[in-house]
Chain A
């Protein structure tokens, strides 16, 4: 504003007009920013990434899940907020020519397994029951924290599933399946328990669109790699590893996500265009009727990233050293020493003691139901055969 005083009058008027317009633009820009601050309405992000296929030839499903995991970690969601379920171990599989790696591009360009990976549910733990328990929160009390989905009603959750599927079901580990109705009911439970603010469901299987047909809870957006009746195809094999490395849909989603950074403003409409039929061979589908916001207002980082809104302060705080409390606690420990007898280490193989130890008596348990029932049956048969008159000789 100080600039205006130095100029002549017509220039002043011109500059004033310009500044006014800039001011209004700036004000509306601030309004936009304020609106965006409150637009999405979520305060934390969670991700549940599931690979449901076992066996070496399903390498590509593990690579799919790990590439989404990698993107989600890169954009800011920490491991404590990611539940990663991998149904088989590909990286340290004896058939993997390069152990501890899972590649997504051929010629081993990109190792999506990395050096800092935490798999929460692995191998036999990836079952339909565990998946539904994670979603609904009905988990046994001894489950560790890293295996829980501790979301609340301001959480945006990304759920990504991949594997082999069909019309209305998804196969888990070649032994069981989850139907689209079960999944829809699980999401309804989550809604009723206020376990999510908004949910993005992505599925990359054959006939994936059938899995989101039955959703009926609000605030769910769903994407699938193929329509009902179509198969999702895999992308490219690697001759050194010998299997297909990725599925087409997730490969192009990964390429799309590699260009996103935590500050990007790309919205969901771009994600819907990611894999056209010419590249994917199948037709990706999406469902937004349950979602309240317009997809063009939904940022990719609302689900894939964990953008924290921080306030930067410029005050300084002076910290001082204080040694009194530290020393007193140490002295207290020293004064605590009493003269006790010296402790000793146990003998690792005390032969004489082992030979002469007595076996412990087993605790007596009362006879179980089967034994009691058997005896009751025998006694009943005896009395029915020989008549009730014998009872008086017993009692």
Chain B
């Protein structure tokens, strides 16, 4: 008994965290990275990726020692014989038109797709149990996944990891669009990270900033990858990704200056001690464009250039493991500033006053080359007083055309002209310098259909009302107020009738 106790303690110690400082190399590794991309619309996108790679074949060995790879997910892989698992929670929609292509997009709500190993006999049963277990781990209503919202795609969703054959019978896919993602989903996601939210890039993951965004997507991806270049054995890769897009107007108050503190209300203090690589990449592709320059502070030591998603992009790299990066004050706050030439725009707007003056909108804009600029104004139609309508109101009302006065750059520089010498058509507008010419253009007038009342309606109403009153009320009045007398039938010829007429005129009773 006494001898067994120290042995038991020894074994406990070996499985404890002291093991990693021993001589042999670690069998799992963590890489974390953050990519900050200023978007064309002035917003900024931040994509976190935490990759834990575990050099172990879970199927063959019975594993009981988990270090960086979270035990909750490792046990799932062995118990349900998973080949791949992809689970994402998203709020919002990635607007490709304004923001450009995303690295990895996910549908709004919760999406789960899983490849099972071909040793699984009852795939549907494993799928149902797996979704229940995941709903407990991630505090989401994934238990609502059943046969009514599960499909087996036959052509897409091929495995993203190593795969020898792809029999789609072992693939299941389900989406829950009504699923809300909030702090209670972020909390267990953060707890799967080796450094949790204490050190490294994960200190930036604060819920009150991450959910105040236009787009928030967090995902867990598990897949087998090649362990080395020869690719003879597999390693399990767990990627946790989180993409957010901070809105320039909501969080930035309209200014396009960004910094880590502005976005996350935190700065980076130290790298995660368990990470083998901890980097921040900032997209500086627009660094030297003509009129706008992007200034990144502190200046990066290295840059990385590659063709990403079809275009050549340049990234500034900040390596947290580089001791020179985190300065004396032990914090790193990356700032992005757009340096614009001084504002030379001008807008003048004078709203209308009813029956006094019209709207006036004047704007001075610089149009970029090879682009389309649309200017639109919203208006509401109001009801006029009935005397203000024209006799033909159904024709509509006219809005005066807009005027466009432009200085257009010339292809060929023109010389200033002498007004007396040149033809008349060349001297309509005075030209100050020959590099551009002045032109004034007009748009079409606008014909607006205002809501028109039915002018014949008062007449119709009066007729109808009077008829109804006369017929109904009149009949009742007569019934109630008239008295009826019985009249005897008249006998006698024409002469008698004439005589009675005369007698009645005289006031004498008839014959």
Contacts and interface: CB of A to CB of B under 8 A. Distances in A.
A92 B135 CA distance: 19
Contact of B136 (A98, A144, A337): A144
A337 B233 contact: yes
Given A118-B139, A343-B232, A322 B183 contact: no
B453 interface: no
Contacts of B139: 118-120, 122, 146
B188 interface: yes
Contact of B13 (A120, A321, A327): A321
A342 interface: yes
Contact of A115 (B14, B56, B183): B183
A346 B159 contact: yes
B208 A98 contact: yes
Contact of B144 (A92, A99, A124): A124
A330 interface: yes
Contacts of A123: 141, 178, 180
Nearest to B191: A116
B380 interface: no
B404 interface: no
Interface residues of A, number: 54
Contacts of B463: none
B184 A115 contact: no
Contacts of A385: none
B437 interface: no
B3 interface: no
B232 A354 contact: no
A106 B135 CA distance: 34
Interface in B1-53: 6, 9-11, 13-14, 18-19, 22-24, 27
A116 B184 CA distance: 7
B439 interface: no
B231 A92 contact: no
B74 interface: no
Contact of B182 (A92, A325, A326): A92
B211 A100 contact: yes
Interface stretch (B98-106, B162-170, B442-450): B162-170
A287 B10 CA distance: 54
A340 B232 contact: yes
Interface string A105-140: 000000101111111101111000000000000000
A130 B13 CA distance: 42
A69 B137 CA distance: 19
A237 B135 CA distance: 34
Q: Is the interface of A mostly helix, strand, loop or mixed?
A: loop
B133 interface: yes
A197 interface: no
A100 B166 contact: no
Nearest to A111: B208
Contact of B18 (A321, A340, A346, A354): A321
Contacts of B301: none
Interface size class of B (residues with CB under 8 A): 35 or more
Given A322-B10, A333-B61, A346-B159, A327 B24 contact: yes
A314 interface: no
A117 B208 CA distance: 13
A313 interface: no
A181 to B, nearest CB: 29
A344 B232 CA distance: 9
Contact of A119 (B129, B163, B184): B184
Contacts of B14: 322-323, 325-326
Nearest to A327: B24
A74 interface: no
B158 interface: yes
A124 B233 CA distance: 44
A8 interface: no
B2 to A, nearest CB: 13
Interface string B75-113: 000000000000000010000000000000000000000
B300 interface: no
A315 interface: no
A322 B13 contact: yes
Contacts of B208: 98-101, 111, 115
A320 interface: yes
B211 A118 contact: no
Contacts of A354: 155
Contact of A117 (B128, B184, B233): B184
B234 interface: yes
Contacts of A118: 139, 184, 187-188
Contacts of A119: 139, 184
A140 to B, nearest CB: 8
B158 A100 contact: no
A325 B11 contact: yes
Contacts of A350: 158
A347 interface: yes
Contacts of A92: 91, 180-183, 211
A278 interface: no
A214 interface: no
A338 B233 CA distance: 9
A120 B183 CA distance: 13
Nearest to A359: B154
A317 interface: yes
B252 interface: no
Given A100-B182, A322-B14, 16 more contacts: A100-B208, A100-B211, A111-B208, A115-B183, A122-B139, A122-B140, A123-B178, A125-B143, A142-B128, A144-B137, A321-B13, A326-B22, A345-B159, A346-B166, A350-B158, A359-B154
Pairs of residues from A and B, 3 with the lowest C-beta to C-beta distance, nearest first: A144-B136, A92-B182, A346-B163
21 contacts: A91-B182, A92-B91, A99-B212, A100-B182, A101-B208, A115-B207, A118-B184, A119-B184, A122-B180, A146-B136, A147-B135, A319-B13, A340-B233, A343-B231, A344-B163, A345-B159, A345-B160, A348-B158, A349-B158, A357-B155, A359-B154
